[in-house]
């Protein structure tokens, strides 16, 4: 037994607990644990607590008294507090027992009925869908507005966004594509060497990169770098009421935030893709020259022979579409953010995951369209 109290037995079935010293955060746990098991063991008909020798009492102490009282009343037994004169009275004044008990009773639970939560979930999904459609609409309207009033475009923001999304992404895009070109050339040479068709390594690298891998790799890097940043930036603005402030000042948030990002990305992502293609060809060239004994001239002329203008334009078209997808999802997730810091994190994650999925989905659609052309 801890030294926070002493128990004396008066008449039959009546226990008196004399508390002494502090009734605070340190003592309340052991008092509660011990007295609960004591009550269960002895089941007294009346429990009296004596607070005469208490030197410090705060709401942790009040918690002890309230819980003891509840334990006794659920057993149909009595409970009373004695020794509340003098100094103890001041200590108890902070604690309004009646109000506390009322609070404890007045717990309002939010309903957790399955049907209700199913309905609520459906409603959120529907409103998300509606928002998705209306967001596309508002982007279109904003673009119309920009065409009619070119001055309303925030040029500085657009240029800053081009730098962040494009220029700053160049090293990582260049590096990954170079390595990718290297790997494709090396792996395909293992097969092609058997037929003495080393020179076709150049065609393979060029075609694979320009029409497929270049746009996809670039889009995935941009989604990871910028899509998440868009979502986090707009999400933070949303939860800190900055978006509301924009609206209140008469700005259109789509025009203010989304349009610069769309314009910047649509310009910059195809350019990044072009760089990715070049770096990949350079990677293939390194393998061709150093491992396959091709001359640089032969490699380059084979590369040019393999590529058609249509192929290059097709790749650019794809990367424009991917850029649109990335910005659209990033901004959408940002605007959908509701709640606190973790909601911003979720939006950023969801923006990356959704845009990578959409990129691959649309790439498949492009492939199908092309094969039925």
Partner 1 sequence: MEKQKTIRVTNLSARYDEEVILEDISLDVYKGEILVILGGSGCGKSTLLKHMVGLSEPFAGQVYIDDVDITSCNDQDFRSTLRKIGVLFQGSALFGSMTISENVALPITEYSTLSKDSINNLVRMKLCMVDLAGYEHYLPSELSGGMKKRAGLARALALNPKILFLDEPTAGLDPVMSAEIDELIVKLNKSIGTTIVIVTHELDSIFSVAQRVIMLDKQTKGIIAQGDPKYLKEHSQNRVVRQFFNRSAKSE
Q: Minimal distance in Å, beta carbon 257 to partner 1?
A: 20
The answer to whether 313 contacts partner 1 (rule: CB under 8 A) is no
- Report how far residue 19's alpha carbon sits from residue 116's, in angstroms, rounded to the nearest whole number: 48
Looking at the Cβ atoms of 11 and 90, the one nearer to partner 1 is: 90
Tokens of 373: 């052309």
Burial class of residue 266, CB neighbours in 10 A (0-12, 13-18, 19+):
middle
SS (H, E, C) 3-25: CCEEEEECCCCEEEEEEEEEECH
Q: How many residues in the shown chain lie near partner 1 by CB under 8 A?
A: 36
| Segment contacting partner 1 by CB under 8 A, of 11-19, 52-60, 128-136, 349-357 | 52-60
Question: Of the two residues 247 and 368, which places its CB atom closer to partner 1 in the complex?
Answer: 247
Provide the minimum distance between the beta carbon of 29 and partner 1 in the complex, in angstroms, as a whole number.
5
Which one among 16, 28, 294, 326 touches partner 1, defined by CB under 8 A? 28
Of 10-18, 39-47, 63-71, 122-130, which segment contacts partner 1 by CB under 8 A? 63-71
Stretch that binds partner 1, among 21-29, 168-176, 268-276, 306-314 (CB under 8 A): 21-29
Residue 100 binds partner 1 (CB under 8 A): yes
Kindly report the number of other CB atoms within 10 A of residue 274's CB atom: 17
Helix (H, G, I), strand (E, B), or coil: what is residue 350? Answer: helix
User: DSSP letters along 180-209, please?
Assistant: HHHHHHHHHHHHHGGGT-TTHHHHHHHHII
Residue 55 in the binding site for partner 1 (CB under 8 A)? no
Query: Given the complex with partner 1, which of 111 and 371 has the nearer CB atom?
Result: 111
Q: Which is nearer to partner 1, 76 or 107 (CB)?
A: 107
Closest separation between CB of residue 65 and partner 1, Å? 11
Of 206, 166, 143, whose CA–CA distance to 323 is shortest?
166
> In which residue are the tokens 């063991």 written?
41
Q: What are the φ and ψ backbone dihedral angles of 166, each rounded to 5 degrees?
A: -100, -70
The 219-258 site mask, x for binding partner 1 (CB under 8 A), equals --------------------x-------------------
- Say whether residue 151 binds partner 1 (CB under 8 A): no
CB 288 within 8 A of CB 187: no
**Is the CB of 113 or the CB of 297 nearer to partner 1?**
113
What's the CA gap between 143 and 138, in Å, rounded? 9
In the complex, minimum distance from the CB of residue 59 to partner 1, in angstroms, rounded to a whole number: 5
Query: Is there binding between residue 150 and partner 1 (CB under 8 A)?
Result: no
H or E segment at 219?
A: helix 214-222
- Of 257, 255, 259, the closest CA to residue 231 belongs to 257
Residue selected from 12, 90, 195, 309 as contacting partner 1 according to rule CB under 8 A: 90
Spatial contact of 50 and 19, defined as CB atoms under 8 Å apart: yes
Place of tokens 């850029």: 323
Binding-site string for partner 1 from residue 102 to residue 141, where x marks contact by CB under 8 A and - marks none: xxx-xxxxx-------------------------------
Residue given tokens 């992502």 in the structure block: 269
* Binding site residues, partner 1, CB under 8 A: 24-25, 28-29, 32-33, 56-60, 62-63, 66-67, 90-91, 93-94, 99-100, 102-104, 106-110, 239, 338-343
């Amino acid at each position: 037994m801890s030294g926070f109290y002493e128990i004396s037995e008066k008449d039959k079935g009546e226990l008196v607990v004399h508390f002494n010293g502090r009734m605070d955060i340190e003592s309340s746990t052991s008092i509660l644990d011990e007295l609960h098991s004591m009550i269960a063991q002895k089941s007294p008909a009346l429990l009296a607590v004596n607070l005469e020798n208490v030197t410090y009492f705060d709401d942790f102490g009040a918690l002890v008294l309230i819980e003891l009282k509840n334990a006794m009343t659920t057993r149909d037994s009595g409970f009373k507090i004695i020794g509340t004169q003098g100094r103890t009275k001041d200590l108890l004044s902070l604690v309004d027992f009646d109000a506390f008990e009322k609070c404890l009773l007045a717990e309002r639970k939010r309903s957790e009925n399955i049907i209700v939560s199913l309905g609520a979930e459906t409603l959120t999904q529907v409103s998300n869908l509606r928002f998705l459609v209306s967001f596309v609409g508002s982007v279109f309207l904003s673009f119309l507005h920009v065409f009619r009033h070119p001055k309303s475009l925030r040029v500085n923001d657009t240029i800053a966004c081009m730098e962040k999304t494009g220029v700053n992404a160049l090293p990582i895009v260049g590096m990954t594509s170079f390595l990718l070109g290297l790997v494709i050339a090396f792996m395909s040479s293992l097969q092609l060497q058997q037929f003495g068709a080393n020179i076709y390594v150049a065609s393979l690298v060029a075609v694979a990169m320009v029409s497929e891998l270049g746009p996809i790799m670039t889009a995935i890097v941009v989604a990871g770098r910028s899509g998440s940043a868009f979502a986090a930036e707009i999400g933070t603005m949303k939860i800190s009421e900055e978006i509301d402030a924009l609206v209140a000042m008469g700005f259109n948030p789509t025009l203010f935030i989304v349009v610069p990002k769309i314009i910047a990305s649509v310009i910059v992502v195809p350019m990044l893709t072009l760089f990715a293609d070049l770096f990949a060809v350079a990677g293939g060239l390194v393998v061709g020259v150093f491992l396959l004994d091709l001359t640089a001239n032969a490699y380059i002329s084979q590369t040019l022979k393999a590529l058609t203008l249509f192929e290059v334009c097709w790749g650019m078209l794809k990367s424009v579409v991917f850029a649109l997808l990335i910005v659209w999802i990033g901004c959408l997730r940002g605007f959908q953010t509701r709640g606190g810091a973790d909601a911003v994190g979720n939006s950023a994650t969801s923006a990356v995951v959704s845009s990578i999925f959409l990129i691959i989905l649309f790439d498949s659609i492009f492939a199908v369209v092309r094969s039925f052309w």
